Structure 1
């Protein structure tokens, strides 16, 4: 422990937080007796069984200090390696909202040890980012959850969701991302039995090796390849025999409780045909963790105006409902989920769950950041303008869905899907 203090205190004057080594009992007493002034802190707690760190920002200090015992109990009861602590806020009404840079967390001390071997974070924002980046880059199935520090309820894990969910994961690019994603899925509270991975690229020995070693999931190769993720999603919709389809991008990560929370919600709200959740974004470009909230009532939000009220990869959909809505357009490699959401408005009840269950990795080289397909590119902007215009015309009765730009557009070729 002395080694950590010596390394960090070399830059003590540049740090915007204080490092305090203590025990849980002493920390509780210090909070109770108000011996610690409000500020940015990293508390290193040393206990017999495990050492862990608690990162608290000045903006959340008074709230977290009052709930510290409940937070630590939740962390230990859920056997977590990392718990993101999100400031409690009401969701937006109409569209996605970037709410905050996440600067509160509790995690095992080994991740702090790993950080300071290579870096000496001067800010609490950077420390949280680096510790989170450290854990989401691992393949050793760490337990990760994200909670508002006012919502420490334990999910009901009594349901058996193995038959009810089919998870569809298209993949193209770095196999390390897929490996990490699948490891996290395997470590979920309730792992869906039906997990289908689609390789949208030329199959190499590495693909075969991963498919043979990584759990008993279903792996398919799409031919011809480089058609985009919607070809795989359409195939999954047509071939699955489960009641619900769940989506996941291969470079993102589900929280430990994602699937059980989605299924609990589906059971308790049978009238909801599609539901997503809030997004915790690990931004590798800006090097920040950002909490992004979405409206709870997606259908109502779209009734007001065409907007961005749901992040599609976070969602589950009733299989019959997605088929009724026509599935996905496959003529382009990007944005068809946005088109689908606007079309689904006319036939589905759509909501979001007021929880953070999905960790999105924003990185260079993805479909949303690459120069040709990035958000804000000319083609995306033109499609967005056209789709939103037609969406409003359909709502007002000026245009029929079947004669609009929201109608499903399919490739002329028929892809082939080979089991690996």
Structure 2
């Protein structure tokens, strides 16, 4: 255990369809509003951005002290996994905090997570509880509570992702050692946690709400059969690397297929129940 708080980088990817206002709020939440500020902020432009997005990012970079925030411009859209892997290469610190371009970090997020990671050097990934909020009004919808201890996380991960991706802080060297984010369009984070588990990584979540995520039941209800094909690819990958058995693959696939084919209104009800019972 170490008593000194480590320096850390923040890693964010931005795409042209991301809401400019949400982006502005997200950026200020990871620097201006933080009790403990990052040593570096890497913003990856995943392809050509809107002028309004470029203006917001440029203003933010100018606002931050020299050298802290930088923009990596990719020539074309490569997808989130590849964009994050590129950004990760440019992170100069071993501790890296993930952030999405439309979410809001709590002011004490980095203070709590970086302190935790600095004093628990055996932990490779640390997430937290999150509040789901209405995208427009930012009103509270529900709290996603995730398993806290390593053993609880391993059990939970056989069925669902044990982390809310934009809430995590991880050790760059451990993520790089397993090859970074696998090349999936969706659920690349879940694939990464699975790969890290089979490579003996250690995990934890903090029982504090450290991030507000713009989401909602309507968003979940829109994820139908078209989303299922991405889940099948990740499940197949998890089976291939030995993270889940064939029986677990069939069991989880059956549950997810049933959920995806439900009508939108029923899906909302089921989603509320899942959040209430399982986080």
Of the three residues 232, 241, 244, the one matched with 2:95 is 244
Specify every segment of 5 or more residues in structure 1 that has no aligned partner in the other structure, as ranges.
1-157, 397-420
What SS does the aligned partner of 2:121 have? Answer: coil
What SS does the aligned partner of 1:223 have? Answer: coil
What SS does the aligned partner of 1:220 have? Answer: strand
What SS does the aligned partner of 2:198 have? Answer: coil
Over alpha carbons, which structure has the higher Rg?
1
**Segment of structure 1 superposing worse, 186-195 or 296-305:** 296-305
CA contact 2:79–2:185 (8 Å) conserved in 1: yes
CA deviation string 1:348-395 (max 9, x = no partner)? 101111211111110699xx7595x7698221342354244445x457
> Matches of 1:189 and 1:376 in 2, distance apart?
41
Of the three residues 100, 112, 123, the one matched with 1:272 is 123
Change (3 A) 1:171 1:304: closer
- Quote the residue 1:171 is aligned against: 14
What SS does the aligned partner of 1:377 have? Answer: helix
> Matches of 1:224 and 1:294 in 2, distance apart?
35
> Matches of 1:246 and 1:315 in 2, distance apart?
6
CA contact 2:147–2:153 (8 Å) conserved in 1: yes
Change (3 A) 1:236 1:299: farther
Runs of 4+ in 1 over 6 A off after TM superposition: 373-376
Deviation at 1:271, TM superposition (A): 0.7
The higher-RCO structure (CA 8 Å, 6+ apart) is 2
1:335 counterpart = 2:187: yes
- Quote the residue 2:209 is aligned against: 356
Of the three residues 158, 170, 181, the one matched with 2:26 is 181
CA contact 1:299–1:345 (8 Å) conserved in 2: no
CA deviation string 1:111-165 (max 9, x = no partner)? xxxxxxxxxxxxxxxxxxxxxxxxxxxxxxxxxxxxxxxxxxxxxxx9665xx21
State TM-score, norm by structure 2. Answer: 0.73
State TM-score, norm by structure 1. Answer: 0.50
- Number of equivalenced pairs: 233
> Matches of 1:284 and 1:394 in 2, distance apart?
34
Deviation at 1:326, TM superposition (A): 1.1
Richer in helix (by share): 2
> Matches of 2:28 and 2:136 in 1, distance apart?
24
Residue pairs, 1:89-100, within 5 angstroms: none
